[in-house]
Chain A
Amino acid sequence: MAKDILSVLKEKRLYFDGGTGTVLQGMGLPAGMSPELWNIERPDLITRLHMDYIESGSNIIKTNTFGINANKFDNYEELIRAGINCAKRAAEDHEDVFVAFDMGPCGRMLKPLGDMDFEDAVELFAKNVRIAADCGVDAILIETMNDSYETKAAVLAAKENSDLPIFVTNVYDESGKLMTGANPLAMIAMLEGLRVDALGMNCSLGPDKMCGILEEFIRHASVPIIVNPNAGLPVARDGKTVFTTDAEEFSGYMLKMAKMGASILGGCCGTTPEYIKKTIEKTNNLPYSLPDVKNETVVSSYTHGVLIGKKPLLIGERINPTGKKKFKEALKADDINYILGEAVRQEEAGAHILDVNVGLPEIDEPSVLKKATFEIQAVTNLPLQLDSADGDALDGAMRIYNGKPLVNSVNGEKEKLDRILPLVKKYGGTLIALTIDEEGIPDTALGRVAIAEKIVAEAKKYGISKKDIIVDPLVLTVSSDTANARITLDALKLLKERGLATSLGVSNISFGLPCREKINSTFFALALENGLDLAIMNPFSREMMDTYYAFNVLNNSDYVCGEYIEYANGLEQSNEAKTVASEPSGGLKYSVEKGMKNSAVNDAKELISREEPLAIINNYIVPALNYVGEQFDKKKLFLPQLLMSAEAASAAFEVVKGSMPSSEQSSGKKIVLATVKGDIHDIGKNIVKVIMESYGFTVYDLGKDVAPQKILECALENECKLVGLSALMTTTVPAMEETIKLIKESAPGTKVMVGGAVLNAEYAGMINADFYAKDAMEAVKLAEAFYA
């Protein structure tokens, strides 16, 4: 019978090998040379390295393939096959030794922090996995991952291209987080959701520093835990690099971690066969058991996990077009910044999770939900609830989500269950289960509970446990039947008695009634008392937030009333701010000149009642901007002040625009703005955008790293005759030139203005730009002249 690493792991503690680079340098590997090249050049030495570790007692050896991928080596396949051969040759006479195919980071940061697409990263790892699966290995080890998102890409590649067991170790620093911010709970939630077989930590720290991180793993992980530390930190001593922890001290800490509950032990940088040998000597006879399966309901973002069921939590409902005219317009216009602003403001208002719903009949929901998810997760730390009735939309968004999402929703209908449950099995997630099925919504609490139980049973068939299901017993408005509230409240109680977590869209209760907040907040309090864990609600509602914080105090869920006091203090401060803002200011012109955004909005609102909109723009906003522009030109004011004034002007402009007939709202002046392909510096472009908008331009902002074709399409689609391009680096100016060439060929008559640190008028002329602007004010003047 073929050996099976997972069966063996159930019975006994396993031991990885240790460092590779350290040992190979000792064997003569020149500094700066990639160790993987020796798979072909010196296979004898690579095999010797593995054998040394096997002789020291390691029973999982890592192939010498850490840094290999198609982007780094043209002959990646040959190197991988040679590396696996070396490991298999070393292990061939050892029944109890397993070969783990080693995959390290791909060497590029994924978007949005870097420039690599998520799917490109998945494919890059997939190429490696397919070769490893073909060669035949016992497991895949994804290791030394600094980034949760890249980790997910590698795990998906492993799952989609092999049936091999998947082990994952990440690099935690002294703050106990990955470089890109994830804490252990976030990684455990995401990786267990993705169904990896073992997880843990490696590299970066010595074993002493890993004990604290291991504690978190022991507390939350349900699968075996791997610990592969460095031999302390490298330091330069007498012209040589040495590590601070010797084998004796190292193995002492490993003994401690084995006792704490680590299932697989090994080493990373600086460790040698001696370190592994001593570790095995000290730990081999210790009692062994796998971690307990934890009954925790968790969702996660790229930074942290949120435990559901400990105390009630709030899901911000504002990212949803239903009943929101401005939101609908933003969605149709692809105005992602509006949505991002809603996300950040809800986080600041106290939401713990954000609902993301972009369902509108006239938009392509799968593509928009995916884009919104990608963009929102870049600006908020909160976990997201991906909310759609469209299975394809959920599929795309769950795939690119950086963490373990809440998935809204499944219900008791067979078609829904068959579509959504496989997605949760594949990508991980916690499900919202609605108590409705083909027969409709039961009108008794017990009827709703029965549907919940049916969903739980069905999910179990996919290996989705009860802890990953949150039941929404549904709220029907009391305006149609006053018994509705009681049915929902009773259902909440019954569900809690059966050990299920609960969720509700609270404000549905008052639909069709006046003064809805009064009904909503009272129902909210009752629902909390009956066991509501997650409330989908508006975090900007004062009444609802009052109820939430007060309930937690009265329910003994707010230790020493800390959160309540902080909330109350925030209310007092905002009242004071309102008092200050309502005091007479120096007028709209003054507010814009001084860059006082809130005052400018209040002044504009006040003026609207007595002056014509166009008069406000021409007599207050434009003169203020002109004055600020002049001061900027004379170097009496600087860019930060100019920007603050522009933002104040834009905010006032929005107020004034709202009271203009729609035919007059557009000035007709428009511009497409983009930072060119390959360049991710968007500060300059953003400055131009803000100032253009303050002068009444309609700006189509395509963002950064934008392909030439996309810029052309935007100009054609919006019949925009002026395009502004930005580039900061000499290496990206060719992309600018290429964009200009495409625009000239395909949209004759469209003019291109360029700017950026590396450009000057002469250079701009060489790449055939029509205008060069040295700064944002000049860009506005050129654009104004173009449209004059």
Chain B
Amino acid sequence: MIPVEYGCIPIEDISINAYELKKRLNIEGEADFSQFEKIATKVKAEVSCKYVAVCTDVKYGEDDNLDIGYGPFKSRQLCKNLKGAKRIIVFAVTLGTGVDRLLMRLSSLSAAEYFVADAVASAIAEGAMDKAEEIVKKDMKTRPRFSAGFGDFYIENQKGILKLLNAEKLLGITVSDSFLMSPMKSVTAVMGVE
């Protein structure tokens, strides 16, 4: 049995991840974010954030093969990240489809607003992951979180992760043939438990 927990994260509990915001806005150095406040308010009003997490055993095979609950795959970088952790927390958050709708609406009105709103939404999603990490790890000591799509922890793992989490039923997250998640502002990650 894999312990599952899921719930909602109120927008008031989510901080906008400043690093992610700057990265998405292509801004270097000091930046005045107050000019984006109005758009950020619009995005926040559409966020309906939910998370789900499971904690499961990790099985290691030869040559950087491992299994975290949805079948074996190979990833040198994930093995390196896990440093032999025997258990792993797998989790996902989504900001919901309201944000996608807002972005679609803005895309037909203003490319500038669309661009900024998309960046803000991505930064909120990262902030939500920060919060979800805090909730699910409780007092456990964990390795840094790691997401499919980085290095050789290929994006194809997204399907297995979402299935393991029952994320379609619990959060409404689906994945396309090209491994894009819907709602768009959804993030998954794993963390080894030390």
Contact = CB atoms under 8 A, between A and B. Distances in A.
Same assembly = yes
Interface of A: 25, 31-32, 104-105, 107-109, 112-115, 144, 146-147, 171, 173-175, 179-181, 203, 233-237, 239-241, 336-337, 340-341, 344, 378-380, 595, 635, 638-640, 643-644, 646-647, 678-683, 686-687, 689-690, 729-732
B101 A181 contact: yes
Nearest to B155: A731
Interface stretch (B11-19, B58-66, B72-80, B107-115): B107-115
A340 B180 contact: no
A593 to B, nearest CB: 14
14 contacts: A25-B1, A32-B163, A32-B164, A146-B172, A147-B172, A236-B3, A236-B4, A236-B5, A237-B3, A344-B109, A639-B25, A683-B114, A686-B114, A686-B115
B34 interface: no
Contacts of A234: 4-6
Contacts of A180: 97, 172
Interface in B1-47: 1-8, 25-29, 31, 35-36
B111 A108 contact: no
B111 A647 contact: yes
Interface string B111-149: 110111010000000000000000000000000000000
A595 B176 contact: no
Contacts of A107: 168, 174
Nearest to B46: A181
A49 B168 CA distance: 24
6 residue pairs, one from A and one from B, having the closest CB atoms? A236-B3, A643-B112, A340-B108, A109-B182, A179-B172, A690-B111
Given A113-B100, A241-B3, A731-B155, A679 B178 contact: yes
Contacts of B7: 233
B4 A647 contact: no
B96 interface: yes
A729 B156 CA distance: 12
Interface string B153-176: 001000000011000110110101
A31 B2 contact: yes
B81 interface: no
Given A640-B25, A686-B114, A729 B174 contact: no
Contact of A341 (B109, B176, B178): B109
Nearest to A689: B111
Contacts of B1: 25, 31, 239-241
B2 to A, nearest CB: 5
A731 B112 contact: no
Given A105-B168, A114-B182, A643-B115, A337 B108 contact: yes
Contacts of B116: 640
Nearest to A302: B101
B107 A235 contact: no
Listed residue (B26, B48, B101, B116) with the most chain A CB atoms within 10 angstroms of its CB: B101
A640 B112 contact: yes
A175 B97 CA distance: 14
Given A25-B1, A690-B111, A683 B179 contact: no
Contacts of A171: 172
Contacts of B6: 233-234
A108 B112 contact: no
Contacts of B179: 729, 731
Given A25-B1, A174-B8, A180-B97, A635 B36 contact: no
A179 B36 CA distance: 27
A678 B179 CA distance: 9
Contact of A240 (B3, B36, B168, B178): B3
A114 B183 CA distance: 8
B92 interface: no
Contact of B111 (A235, A638, A681, A687): A687
Contacts of A114: 174, 176, 182
Nearest to B118: A683
Contacts of B182: 109, 113-115
Contacts of A240: 1, 3
B36 A731 contact: no
Contact of B2 (A235, A237, A241): A241
Contacts of A640: 25, 35-36, 112, 115-116
Contact of B104 (A175, A179, A378, A646): A378
Contact of A683 (B50, B56, B101, B115): B115
Contact of B180 (A31, A638, A680): A680
Contacts of B50: 173
